[in-house]
């Protein structure tokens, strides 16, 4: 291997790709997480149960993970432009068609299925694209792109809510759908993978070689990766991570209200969490560039466990705010480290499909977690048992992180 310091390929355009990917993540995930502001208006108009009304969101997350495997594979072969463009059409059209909802199955079709397909063309293809464009600053750049999720939540949700208050939820859906359809399709035309002839290495930076003795995976080595115990250990860890993270995201506000805090104070916990996640992802990305993704991932899982232990003894509102900040690093480690740790362990030639499988594992956990927590609460009447179980699972997940081993093959030219 050459000792020449790694630099982003085609410096200027590489950063344009990052900006475009960040902007798309802001729109897509900001719109997706704004589902909560449509929740109450849908309940009031149609009188559905909360389970029926929340089901499409879980379905969309599941399809995002499942579809991400296929979108990652397509991105590997044809590049991100096609994938993101097609999925933007599904995403925007799904929101636009929501204005025609008259039955519950309409919501499952338009939001659960169509928006879910649209989501599958965002995180995996965009993160994989950034991983191809950058070597040395890969962690930081993926952290910046991933932070678009938090930024979008802070921007799109208030806009959608304001439009609901002024013109109703149907007009708000139409506006969000048109915004996503037009802007994402336009910006997707600038996305592409770097020219293969100018790519110097499909490997990790020199300074990380002592942390990961990985090699580029050849087109026939996807099966080899699937037979690697560390690959499935990583999938298992992220499955558990998804369960834990979404249990807290969905149930922390109801928990705070049960403790006697107001709805506004409970919402502030999530707001602080969202703001902390924005910075946590960037910090974790920088850390991954310096010490390697595996160790950074373990540190993030440690923050998640520490936050949950703190939650078990928290009684004051200030303690819950502190929990939100600490826990943000546990949340951030998953979405930031997934693309980089897959690249470090298995290279980039089949990065999209492998990242898609890993991300699907996390999405399964994200779909299971809130339902599991809800059922436990229904049986016990308290969140204490739920959070104790999540704390134990978090510690087990942290311990599993130490058993992730790098690919045995050394990096090659």
Average pLDDT on 189-203 reads: 63
Whether 203 has a pLDDT exceeding 50, the answer reads no
Residue carrying the six token digits 């703190």? 310
pLDDT band for position 199 (50/70/90)?
very low
Residue 395: give the domain boundaries: 201-413
Q: Looking at the structure, tell me whether residues 217 and 158 fall in a common domain.
A: no
Rounded Cα gap, residues 117 and 74, in angstroms: 14
Give the CATH number of the domain where residue 89 resides. Answer: 1.20.1250.20
Q: Looking at the structure, tell me whether residues 189 and 258 fall in a common domain.
A: no
Rounded Cα gap, residues 71 and 292, in angstroms: 27
pLDDT band for position 97 (50/70/90)?
very high
Rounded Cα gap, residues 303 and 277, in angstroms: 13
Who contacts 343 (Cβ-Cβ below 8 Å, separation ≥6)? 131, 138, 204, 351
Q: Looking at the structure, tell me whether residues 159 and 220 fall in a common domain.
A: no
Q: Looking at the structure, tell me whether residues 131 and 217 fall in a common domain.
A: no
Rounded Cα gap, residues 23 and 17, in angstroms: 10
Q: How many domains does the chain have?
A: 2
Q: Looking at the structure, tell me whether residues 98 and 208 fall in a common domain.
A: no
The last residue of one of the domains, among 174, 200, 226, is: 200
Q: Looking at the structure, tell me whether residues 129 and 77 fall in a common domain.
A: yes
Q: pLDDT exceeding 90 applies to what percent of the chain?
A: 24
The last residue of one of the domains, among 175, 200, 225, is: 200
Using one digit for the tens of pLDDT, what is the confidence trace for 386-406? 899 999 999 999 999 888 876
Whether 157 has a pLDDT exceeding 80, the answer reads no
Q: Looking at the structure, tell me whether residues 260 and 212 fall in a common domain.
A: yes
Max mean pLDDT range (117-121, 143-147, 221-225): 117-121
Least confident range from 18-27, 246-255, 324-333: namely: 246-255
Residue carrying the six token digits 């609901």? 164
Q: Looking at the structure, tell me whether residues 51 and 133 fall in a common domain.
A: yes
Rounded Cα gap, residues 146 and 141, in angstroms: 9
- Full-prediction pTM beyond 0.85? no
Average pLDDT on 354-374 reads: 83
Residue 217's pLDDT is what?
Answer: 41
Cα–Cα–Cα angle for 233, 252, 163, rounded to 5 degrees: 110
The last residue of one of the domains, among 182, 200, 218, is: 200
Rounded Cα gap, residues 293 and 298, in angstroms: 9
Q: Looking at the structure, tell me whether residues 282 and 320 fall in a common domain.
A: yes
Q: Looking at the structure, tell me whether residues 95 and 240 fall in a common domain.
A: no
**Residue 187: Cβ within 10 Å count:** 18
Rounded Cα gap, residues 110 and 57, in angstroms: 11
pLDDT band for position 256 (50/70/90)?
confident
Average pLDDT on 35-58 reads: 78
Q: Is 339 in contact with 352 (CB distance < 8 Å)?
A: no
Rounded Cα gap, residues 175 and 182, in angstroms: 11
Q: Please count the residues of the chain.
A: 413
Judging by beta carbons within 10 Å of its beta carbon (0-12, 13-18, 19+), is residue 44 exposed, middle or buried? exposed
Distance of alpha carbon 160 from the chain centroid: 21
Q: Is 125 in contact with 71 (CB distance < 8 Å)?
A: yes
For the chain, first and last CA: distance in Å? 6
- CA atoms within a 13 Å half-sphere pointing along the CA-CB vector of 82: 11
| SS3 label, residue 279 | helix
Ramachandran class of 79: left when φ > 0, alpha when ψ lies in -120 to 50, beta otherwise: left
Measured in degrees and rounded to the nearest 5, phi and psi for residue 109 equal -75, -50
Q: pLDDT exceeding 70 applies to what percent of the chain?
A: 86
Mean pLDDT of the chain: 80
Q: Looking at the structure, tell me whether residues 191 and 205 fall in a common domain.
A: no
């Amino acid at each position: 291997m050459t000792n020449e310091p790694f630099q982003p390929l085609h410096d200027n355009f590489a950063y344009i790709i990052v900006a475009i990917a960040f902007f798309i993540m802001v729109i897509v995930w900001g719109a997706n997480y704004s589902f909560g502001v449509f929740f109450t208006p849908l309940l009031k108009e149609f009188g559905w149960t909360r389970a029926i009304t929340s089901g499409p969101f879980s379905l969309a997350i599941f399809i995002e993970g499942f579809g991400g495997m296929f979108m990652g594979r397509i991105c590997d072969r044809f590049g991100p432009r096609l994938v993101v463009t097609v999925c933007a059409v599904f995403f925007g059209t799904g929101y636009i068609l929501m204005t025609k909802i008259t039955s519950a199955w309409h919501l499952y079709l338009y939001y659960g299925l169509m928006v879910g397909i649209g989501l599958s063309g965002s995180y995996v293809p965009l993160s994989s694209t950034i991983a191809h464009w950058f070597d040395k600053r890969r962690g930081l750049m993926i952290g910046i792109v991933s932070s678009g999720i938090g930024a979008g939540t802070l921007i799109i949700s208030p806009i959608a809510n304001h439009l609901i208050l002024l013109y109703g939820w149907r007009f708000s859906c139409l506006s969000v759908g048109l915004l996503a359809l037009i802007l994402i399709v336009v910006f997707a035309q600038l996305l592409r993978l770097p020219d293969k002839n100018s790519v110097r290495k499909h490997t990790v930076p020199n300074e990380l070689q002592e942390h990961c003795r990985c090699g580029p995976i050849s087109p026939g080595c996807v099966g080899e990766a699937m037979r690697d115990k560390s690959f499935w250990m990583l999938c298992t860890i992220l499955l558990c991570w998804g369960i834990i993270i979404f249990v807290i995201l969905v149930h922390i506000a109801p928990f705070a209200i049960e403790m006697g805090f107001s709805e506004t104070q409970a919402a502030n916990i999530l707001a602080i969490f969202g703001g902390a996640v924005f910075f946590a992802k960037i910090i974790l990305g920088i850390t991954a560039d310096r010490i390697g993704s595996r160790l950074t991932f373990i540190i993030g899982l440690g923050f998640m466990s520490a936050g949950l232990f703190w939650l078990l003894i928290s009684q004051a509102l200030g303690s819950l705010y502190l929990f939100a900040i600490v826990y943000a690093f546990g949340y951030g480690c998953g979405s930031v480290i997934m693309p980089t740790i897959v690249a470090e362990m298995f290279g980039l030639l089949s990065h999209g499909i492998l990242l898609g499988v890993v991300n699907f594992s996390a999405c399964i956990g994200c779909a299971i977690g809130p339902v599991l927590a809800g059922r436990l609460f229904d049986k016990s009447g308290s969140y204490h048992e739920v959070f104790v179980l999540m704390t134990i699972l978090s510690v087990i997940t942290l311990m599993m992180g130490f058993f992730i081993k790098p690919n045995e093959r050394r990096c090659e030219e």
